[in-house]
Amino acid sequence: MFRQLSECHLPPVVERECAASLTVPYAALDTLTELKENPFRRRVCEVFSTNASASLTFDQFLEMFSVFSEHAPRDIKAIYAFKIYDFDGDGFLGESDLLHAVKHLSHDLLTPDEYSTIVAKVLEEADVDCDGRLSQSEFIHVILKCPDFVPNFHIRI
């Protein structure tokens, strides 16, 4: 799959040292059936990429598909879900992160009042220490109770 998405022509066998420098641009990943309908597809790529090049290396590509595998541990899935929702990268899910996530999920079809209500309810239910944001542990505690989380947090290839 990486070979199909890579912009450069790859030989049948690639040495490990060379594989580290091969990349797939985010735009190519957008064409994958497994990702193209995901409203977080760009954010997923950003979380797994360690540089600002708008691309994934082969190792990052493998890590992404490993985390989204049906066989990945649910705790690992929850950690990466948190990272995907932490849009500002501050290690917490604040109101702006939650609003951003809800807008992605709803495709911007709700009213401002509806967004505010949803964000307030999420914080009311999950913010154990009442600091107005969700820590990673608060998020994981809640998300692992959701029966649809693990079955839906995967990519089949």
pLDDT tens for residues 25-49?
888 888 888 888 899 999 999 999 9
Tokens (6 digits) for 56: 């994934």
Average pLDDT along the chain: 89
Q: What backbone phi and psi angles, to 5 degrees, belong to 25?
A: -70, 150
What domains does the chain contain, in order, with CATH numbers? 1-67 (1.10.238.10), 73-157 (1.10.238.10)
Does residue 8 surpass a pLDDT of 90? Answer: no
> Tell me, what's the pLDDT at 5?
62
Cβ–Cβ < 8 Å for 26, 57? no
The tally of CA atoms less than 13 A away on the side-chain side of residue 9 is 0
11 pLDDT band (50/70/90 cuts)?
low
Kindly state the DSSP code that residue 8 receives in the 8-state scheme: S
> Tell me, what's the pLDDT at 37?
87
Tally of CB atoms within 10 A around 12: 5
Q: Which amino acid would we find at residue 112?
A: P
Question: CA 76 to CA 156: how far, in whole Å?
Answer: 17
CA 121 to each of CA 87, 93, 137, 151: distance values in angstroms, whole numbers, following the listed order: 19, 14, 18, 24
Lowest mean pLDDT among 22-31, 68-77, 123-132: 22-31
The tally of CA atoms less than 13 A away on the side-chain side of residue 19 is 12
pTM of the model: 0.87
